[in-house]
Amino acid sequence: MIATEIELIATCSFGLEALVSRELKDLSYQHQVVENGKVTFTADLNAICRSNLWLRTADRVRLKVGEFKATTFDQLFEQTMALPWSELIPENAAFPVDGKSVQSTLFSISDCQAIVKKAIVESMKKHYKTSWFKEDGPLYRIEISMLRDIATLTIDTSGAGLHKRGYREAGSGAPLRETLAAALVLIARWQPGISLIDPFCGSGTIPIEAALIGRHIAPGMNRNFAAEQWPTIPKEMWHEARRETHDLLDSKQKLDLSGTDINPAAIKKARLTAAEAGVEDLIHFQVRPLAELSSKKKYGKVICNPPYGERLGDQNEVEHLYQQMGKIYKTLDTWSWYTLTAYENFERFFGRKASKRRKLYNGNIKVQYYQYFGPLPPEK
């Protein structure tokens, strides 16, 4: 049986750690350690359910089994074997081992994986009094992470990454992950009473994530997780956590969200994707070129992920696009603008230095989030 107090690790893209930390605090998980690419937090068993259901900017939630220094394979084997695997993993579980190693003496990932797998098997043999495991039951995907000779052993509770909310079709090829789209909205400090426009909406990920935030819809509400099949977590605990997502949903909150794009096929797809997410009635999608961007609202936020110009032939076109954005900015000068791009000369062509910049990662691409703050609207 899993202990009543456990350590969990919410992993994330570099640059999003503070957002994940804030989200965990909003879930009342205060005991945290924030490091590059992850937030470790202490909680009860119920946190496996709630954090998977509610975290918008984390990649996945891992159960921390143990951590120790290991510079030899003997040390790795013995200390892995000493961990309480049989308390966590049932006899019929499937327990594949993934691995990664950074700046460590034990740099061979395949060897580390094999050693850890063997150590776990030996540990479980003693408890279950058997010499062979079928591995035809629930999935407990284990990871051995070596960082500067410190071995961290975890079990993945999420299954598919948390960016897979369930509303986007597999293999859609959309360039912006849902977790990053949610982060852009949160960094911009958008609130439900504020107008939001994405003039390069593509499949609609940014306004869809804003709608989920605005209505307080848990991003994991309509998907399943690996740990739901674990016999060590009572089914009622998952039912209760899911009931909470329905209880806290704000179905009456009014939102002013727009997504425009020059591509009619993209807008058609955005509408279908929003329908899958259950927020199609909350977002106004329209085929519209950037040149026609306008609003009757005096205040609002433009949050977008325009083309970066990855291919050499696109560079002139992208530079022209950024110049056009700068001109339109002047017509919406009481709005705030937030632009994610990997193009290093964005400010030069936009025609203005950003109020603030934030380095993020869109997959493996290093990007900058350029933030231009408009005047604050008068207090109501």
pLDDT value of position 174? 55
Q: What is the domain-level CATH number for residue 38?
A: 3.30.2130.30
What rounded mean pLDDT belongs to the chain?
Answer: 95
pLDDT value of position 4? 77
User: Which of 125, 156, 187 is the last residue before a domain boundary?
Assistant: 156
230 occurs within a structural domain = no
Q: Which of 361, 369, 318 is nearest to 340 (CA)?
A: 369
When divided into structural domains, the chain yields a total of: 2
The answer for residues whose C-beta is within 8 angstroms of residue 243's C-beta and 6 or more apart is none
Q: How crowded is residue 312: how many other Cβ atoms within 10 Å of its Cβ?
A: 7
232 occurs within a structural domain = no
Burial 197-211 (b: 16+ CB within 10 A, else e): bbbbbbbbbbbbbbb
Q: Find the length of the chain.
A: 380
Distances from the Cα of 296 to the Cαs of 229, 254, 299, 335, 348, in angstroms? 50, 17, 9, 11, 28
Same domain, 70 and 183: no
Average pLDDT over residues 293-308: 94
Same domain, 20 and 152: yes
pLDDT band of residue 175 (cuts 50, 70, 90) is confident
12 occurs within a structural domain = yes
Same domain, 148 and 184: no
Of residues 364 and 55, more confidence is placed in: 55
Same domain, 50 and 97: yes
Of residues 173 and 306, more confidence is placed in: 306
93 occurs within a structural domain = yes
Does the structure show a pLDDT above 80 at 168? yes
What percent of the chain lies above the pLDDT cut of 90? 92
Same domain, 105 and 210: no
The answer for residues whose C-beta is within 8 angstroms of residue 129's C-beta and 6 or more apart is none
Same domain, 206 and 111: no
pLDDT value of position 56? 98
What is the spatial distance between Cα 257 and Cα 220, in angstroms, rounded to a whole number?
Answer: 21
pLDDT band of residue 311 (cuts 50, 70, 90) is low
pLDDT of 223-281, one tens digit each?
999 999 999 999 999 999 999 999 999 999 999 999 999 999 999 999 999 999 999 99
Q: Which of 174, 163, 160 is nearest to 16 (CA)?
A: 163
Q: What is the domain-level CATH number for residue 364?
A: 3.40.50.150
Does the structure show a pLDDT above 70 at 171? no
Kindly compute the dihedral angle of the four CA atoms of residues 165, 168, 171, 173, in this order, to the nearest 10 degrees. Answer: -110
pLDDT of 322-371, one tens digit each?
999 999 999 999 999 999 999 999 999 999 999 999 999 998 899 999 99
Q: Residue 122's domain spans which residues?
A: 5-156
The answer for residues whose C-beta is within 8 angstroms of residue 378's C-beta and 6 or more apart is none
Average pLDDT over residues 175-191: 96
346 occurs within a structural domain = yes
**DSSP assigned state of 376:** P
169 occurs within a structural domain = no
What percent of the chain lies above the pLDDT cut of 70? 96
The answer to whether the beta carbons of residues 107 and 101 sit under 8 Å apart is yes
Average pLDDT over residues 134-161: 97
Same domain, 128 and 276: no
Does the structure show a pLDDT above 90 at 2? no
221 occurs within a structural domain = no
Average pLDDT over residues 94-115: 97
pLDDT of 14-26, one tens digit each?
999 999 999 999 9
pLDDT value of position 330? 92
Same domain, 11 and 108: yes
Q: Which of 345, 353, 367, 204 is nearest to 272 (CA)?
A: 204
Does the structure show a pLDDT above 60 at 302? yes
Segment among 72-76, 311-315, 361-365 with least mean pLDDT: 311-315
pLDDT value of position 380? 64
Where does residue 222 rank: exposed (0-12), middle (13-18), buried (19+ CB within 10 A)? middle
Which neighbouring-strand residues pair with 365? 362
Same domain, 333 and 207: yes
Rounded to two decimals, the pTM is: 0.94
Same domain, 99 and 189: no
What is the spatial distance between Cα 41 and Cα 33, in angstroms, rounded to a whole number?
Answer: 6
Same domain, 125 and 204: no
Q: Is 68 helix (H, G, I), strand (E, B) or coil?
A: strand
Same domain, 144 and 182: no
What is the spatial distance between Cα 55 and Cα 179, in angstroms, rounded to a whole number?
Answer: 9
127 occurs within a structural domain = yes
The answer to whether the beta carbons of residues 257 and 207 sit under 8 Å apart is yes
